[in-house]
Structure 1
Amino acid sequence: MSHPPVPPTVTVRPGDVRYPALSRGFNQRWIADPEYVRMVTSPQGVVTALSEAVNQIPADDDDRDRERYRDRITVRSGGHCYEDFVCGDDVRVILDVSPMCDMYYDPALEAWCVEAGATNWHVYSHLYPMSGRALPGGSCYSVGLGGHITGGGYGLLSRQAGLTVDYLYAVEVAVVTERRTVELVLATRDDPDPDRRDLWWAHTGGGGGNFGVVTRFWFRDPPVPPRTVLLTARSWDWNHFSKESFISLLDAYGQWFADHQDPNTASGRLFALLALNHRAAGTINLTVQVDAASEDKDDEGTQAMISFLRAVDSEAVPKSKPMVWSAAEHAAVPDAWSPRLMPWLTATQALNGSGQNRCGKYKSAYVRRPFTRSQIEAMWGYLGNEHFQEFKNKEALIQIDSYGSAVNHPPYDTAAPQRDSIMKMQYQVYWRRPNDHDIGDEDDNLRWIRETYRATFADTGGVPIVGNNTDGCYINYPDVDLSDKNWNTSGQPWSKLYYKEEYLRLQKAKARWDPLNVFRNQQSVERLEL
């Protein structure tokens, strides 16, 4: 039986039963009220939908005095944007590329093509079985690649394989010209045209939704994951920690990664995720993965795992136990206190979670050196030991990922500028939204994460400046507080914290490829007048 052809676009308006779900993303803190959501199924469908959107007269145009004037066109892949850059009160149209999730080998470009609506899970469940290769992307399965890749993209394989953009060969983008026409542009890493080459470069860390609508990515020689890995998951009881043992834990964790930055060794490839949950959660969690060739106890990966656990889970800290409770977006692995040998994809599935659709606020930091004593003491205090003791949110935490190694040896020039860090931090807090008209306990949660972050980096104006010990922030964890002088007193603007010295080049690319500033948000790349 034949099926009707899939239409190039599907329009969802307020009266449609799908509208409430499609006018919001993963972060329930942000709910939009667009004129419509356009689901697109092909690159040409994107061109058509974008052309219509930029040339329409907004329904609000005759009533600019209304409380909210909607004039932005935004793009969604997986819907995981942490701020209101996609789903905000001022959004008129959402272009949703999630139906575009195919991946295949393209002999013309000699590269693997991945459509912009695919997710991390598509890479693991589709690309890997077909090709034996994978992108070194994140562990949360539902994150869309359209945003993940363009911000740099990292995950459990990054210390041995680098960032996702280190393999990006080409990108296809629908851009809006000064004449309000839409063009589909293919830009490659070795493009003879310098403007197109800059468009490719801008998508290797410049962030999503800045220059146009990405439709497809092409990757050359993406990495081969390890055949098997050792996976360990442990927890410590908060009640057994003293301030000194907490300091010992973070000292050992930071120093181990400072000392092991060679991706040619198993120790340099070992990845760890330390979840410093608020004391209300009851535990601190640790997840560790390293590639392993066999069950042989003399295997280099086994020795690296033993070395790491001896250093971090030592006699200087409380006795650990199996991990029972999950941390933030990562599932608990309760039967892995002793390292378990398993295929790479099996281990990826064990960790692969996305969390519930909740309200959330996030902050980030690149860390170049082991933590200072003042930073550790601030974290200790604000995790419910000296401050916020009445704050009982079990879903508030500081997550510290290992970083560096292969990340710090990029094969090509990219727009992801933080290339000498040893750790990456993500401050997270989650809460429930009782209904669409009640944001829940937002004030208390925002106060906790803002004050905790400011205290950690009190010596540098409340943010992790581009400096000796820290190296700014991750654009894929956007934080509008970086633009607020009440929370950022460092003298370094948000643009430097995200992009360092690459910002000027990004501004030039913005002026060339988005001259009308169609793609904008509170922290979009600002146009540079040419």
Structure 2
Amino acid sequence: MPSDRRDFLRLTAFAPLAAALPLGGGPLAALSAPRPADWAALGRGLDGRLVRPGDASYGAARRLYNPAFDDVRPAGIAYCANDADVAECVRFATRYDVPLAVRSGGHSYAGWSTGTGLVIDVSPMRSVRHSSGRAVVGAGAKLIDVYDRLAASGVSIPAGSCPTVGVSGLALGGGIGVVSRKYGLTCDVLESVRIVTASGATLTCDANHNADLYWASRGGGGGNFGVATSFTFRTHPIREVTVFFLRWPWAKARKVVAEWQKWAPAAPDALWSNLHLTREGGGPAVQVGGLYLGGRAACENLLDRLAGRIGATSSRYVRATSYRQAMMIMAGCSSYSVSQCHLPGSLPGQTRDGRLVRDTFEAKSHIAYRPLSSAGIATLVAKVAAPGDHAVLLDALGGAVGRVGPQATAFPHRAAVFSVQYYAHRAGRAAWLRDAHAAMTPHFGHHAYVNYIDPKLTGWRTAYYGPNAPRLARIKAKYDPARRFRFPQAI
């Protein structure tokens, strides 16, 4: 929609309000609630689409990835097509004091990418363009699409493995991913970001423009400072890589943990790995998986060093493959097409032939700054072996991640050796999570990852942001003094 038509609709829709307010240049007094006609005017003023209760697509539009939040009923979901749409929504929410939630992929562990007010969904802004070593990526692009489209140009960016996560939430919280040890976090290759702030202004933020907001956007968490609409990343060239999965009998679980935590963070930067301790759909299992940026022979040599310390594996899978296919394997989509590696549907970010399913879960996290002691290992293994449907996922850090200072970006956990995620399904999940996390806190300390946001975490400011929390608070006060962007753990 041309800006003149947008402004005409906005001004005529709110003409009665303007006439009723006193003159004097002060802020507009918020109405108690917008009327249906006000919502209709907002919808007409968007280039994108506003979905409201009663619309045919409302039931699907209001859902997040996690069905645990299906009872939340937003007053509206705005699928924003551009910066101007986002700004229009922010001004509308300010004018009527409507709560705002910001959604990219809908994976907020606490469900804070939805709410009872207006949800700004940036999924329509999903373009991916590459030129001269830079990728310009819309905030709503899903990771599997970013990988696929950049692979066509022979490049990629360091990012995560979950295919339907939106690039915005990942990058703003730091971005631990499958090539982080070689190329850094997602936020480490972020050169600029475009943000619509609480005032409705659209700012380009980089090292030379709005540098404080740029710093905060590199690990300060999504939804805190405004609505990110576009990112510019440095890319790296892609090549054939090797993926691997090794499993051992559960009786060796303690030995696997002890040896992996020494081997993985100290491995060559080209090798990234994770350790999964799971009890899902049967007895407990232990697996080391990962990716090596190189050929199979060199990868096998590194894996042999680990296996030689632990003992014979019960299964071993090592395969050289293309970078693009490696990302599909890590996404759990090795037998799917890229289109099928989405949630099914016709809304932005979905595909009609999508094969993925939503998942009901709860999660917590730690960031490990030192290896576990033998007592810590015994406690961790015992907690996973307990009855239930749960997992503990450890992702190796070190390498390029650790060569950035803890205050160079908002992400503070540069000295960490691995991240820890506790993930539980179905009945009893909350009790297991609470017990397992509490049992491991004496061993890991009070550090956590903001992208695994935890609504029950105490001391979350320090846990997520460490010494960077005070600076983030000052930036929040500067760009959002009225706290228009707020949720229970907003800065």
Q: TM-score range by the shorter chain?
A: 0.7 to 0.9
What SS class does the counterpart of residue 261 from structure 2 fall into?
helix
Q: How big is the shift at 1:508?
A: 0.7
- Please state if 1:252 is matched with 2:264: no
What SS class does the counterpart of residue 69 from structure 2 fall into?
coil
Which amino acid counterpart does residue 189 of structure 2 have in structure 1? Y
Equivalent of 1:321 in 311, 314, 319: 314
Q: How big is the shift at 1:44?
A: 1.4
Q: How big is the shift at 1:519?
A: 0.7
Alignment of 1:95-174 (within 5 A): 95-105=120-130, 111-130=134-153, 132-174=154-196
CA contact (8 A) 1:156 1:271 kept: yes
- Please state if 1:519 is matched with 2:457: no
Which amino acid counterpart does residue 357 of structure 1 have in structure 2? R
Which amino acid counterpart does residue 383 of structure 1 have in structure 2? V
TM-score for both structures, normalised by structure 2: 0.81
**Residue 183 (structure 1) aligns with:** 201
Question: Matches of 1:279 and 1:79 in 2, distance apart?
Answer: 24
**Residue 263 (structure 1) aligns with:** none
**Residue 382 (structure 1) aligns with:** 383
User: What CA deviation, in whole Å up to 9, does each residue of 1:101-139 have, x standing for no partner?
Assistant: 0022478xx842111001111211112312x22111001
Paired-residue identity, %: 27
- Number of residue pairs matched? 422
CA contact (8 A) 1:363 1:479 kept: yes
Q: How big is the shift at 1:224?
A: 2.2
Question: Matches of 1:258 and 1:103 in 2, distance apart?
Answer: 32
Which amino acid counterpart does residue 175 of structure 1 have in structure 2? T
**Residue 36 (structure 1) aligns with:** 76
Question: Matches of 1:83 and 1:37 in 2, distance apart?
Answer: 18
**Residue 10 (structure 2) aligns with:** none
CA contact (8 A) 1:258 1:369 kept: no
User: What CA deviation, in whole Å up to 9, does each residue of 1:6-52 have, x standing for no partner?
Assistant: 96121111111211122121111113211111111111121122222
What SS class does the counterpart of residue 149 from structure 1 fall into?
helix
Question: Matches of 1:290 and 1:92 in 2, distance apart?
Answer: 45
Alignment of 1:164-243 (within 5 A): 164-177=186-199, 182-191=200-209, 196-219=210-233, 221-225=234-238, 227-238=239-250, 241=251
CA contact (8 A) 1:258 1:370 kept: no
Equivalent of 1:450 in 426, 429, 434: 434
Question: Matches of 1:310 and 1:363 in 2, distance apart?
Answer: 32
Question: Matches of 2:431 and 2:177 in 1, distance apart?
Answer: 29
**Residue 10 (structure 1) aligns with:** 49
CA contact (8 A) 1:102 1:118 kept: yes
CA contact (8 A) 1:271 1:288 kept: yes
User: What CA deviation, in whole Å up to 9, does each residue of 1:247-280 have, x standing for no partner?
Assistant: 21111111113543xxxxxx33211121100276
User: What CA deviation, in whole Å up to 9, does each residue of 1:396-434 have, x standing for no partner?
Assistant: 000111111111113892111100111111110123xxx
CA contact (8 A) 1:154 1:163 kept: yes
**Residue 52 (structure 1) aligns with:** 92
Higher normalized helix content (fraction of residues) = 2
CA contact (8 A) 2:99 2:118 kept: yes
Alignment of 1:287-302 (within 5 A): 287-293=289-295, 297=297, 300-302=298-300
Equivalent of 1:392 in 388, 395, 405: 388
CA contact (8 A) 1:404 1:420 kept: yes
Question: Matches of 1:356 and 1:452 in 2, distance apart?
Answer: 27
TM-score for both structures, normalised by structure 1: 0.75
What SS class does the counterpart of residue 29 from structure 1 fall into?
helix
Question: Matches of 2:415 and 2:256 in 1, distance apart?
Answer: 23
Residues 106/248 of structure 1: CA separation in 2 closer, same or farther (3 Å cut): closer
CA contact (8 A) 1:277 1:398 kept: yes
Equivalent of 2:331 in 342, 352, 355: 352
CA contact (8 A) 1:114 1:216 kept: yes
Cα RMSD over matched residues? 2.2
Q: Which runs of 5+ in 2 are unaligned?
A: 1-44, 333-341, 343-355
Which amino acid counterpart does residue 244 of structure 2 have in structure 1? T
- Please state if 1:80 is matched with 2:107: yes
User: What CA deviation, in whole Å up to 9, does each residue of 1:46-96 have, x standing for no partner?
Assistant: 112222222136xxxxxxxxxxxxx520010011100031224xx311011
Equivalent of 1:407 in 401, 409, 413: 401
Which amino acid counterpart does residue 229 of structure 1 have in structure 2? V
Q: Which runs of 5+ in 1 are unaligned?
A: 1-5, 58-70, 261-266, 323-336, 432-440, 466-471, 484-492, 526-530
